[in-house]
Amino acid sequence: MTALDRDPPRSFDVITAADVFVYVGKLDSVVSAARRALRTRGLFGFSTEAAEDALTAERASSSAGYVLCTSGRYAHTESYLRELALRNRFEIAVLRKTRIRFEHRQPIFGWLAIWFAASLSQEL
């Protein structure tokens, strides 16, 4: 259960999570809860670290779509994020790799995501 599950369905127009999902591995339940909580055409904006830029040893274990990095944060793959959007009836407006922060003076790359809840005619 997430905090979003406490509100009635379709309660929000916008949900954001900037630099939050780096502390969450599997995003399935939170993305599902966000979709439930958003009104039709509601905006879901968030960022994650990019697993594609994780160290080689870490990348090898990212078949689940996410990996715990040596930094103690999670990184997520583009394919996992796209699959979550599709499964939860989100339209992807933006899914762009970008620098999300610096760590030890080195850039950390991640995914900037802006998704819209599908219209009622597209819902199951």
Could you list the residue range(s) of the whole structural domain that residue 102 is in? 3-118
C-alpha distances in angstroms, 20 versus 9, 41, 103? Answer: 22, 22, 16
The answer to whether residue 45 is domain-embedded is yes
The answer to whether residue 123 is domain-embedded is no
State percent of the chain over pLDDT 70: 87
State the Cα angle at 108 between 91 and 44, rounded to 5°. 20
d(CA 21, CA 72): 12
The answer to whether residue 75 is domain-embedded is yes
In sequence order, the 6+-apart residues with CB closer than 8 A to the CB of 101 are 19, 107, 108
Q: So what's the pLDDT on residue 124?
A: 44
pTM attached to this predicted model: 0.87
Domain count, the chain: 1
The answer to whether residue 124 is domain-embedded is no
CATH code for position 13? 3.40.50.150
- Span 88-97, average pLDDT: 97
Task: Give the tokens for residue 85.
Answer: 């959007």
Q: So what's the pLDDT on residue 58?
A: 52
C-alpha distances in angstroms, 59 versus 4, 7, 63, 77, 124? Answer: 31, 36, 8, 9, 34
pLDDT digits (tens, 9 = 90+) for 12-68: 999 999 999 999 999 999 999 999 999 999 999 999 999 987 654 455 455 789 999
d(CA 36, CA 40): 10
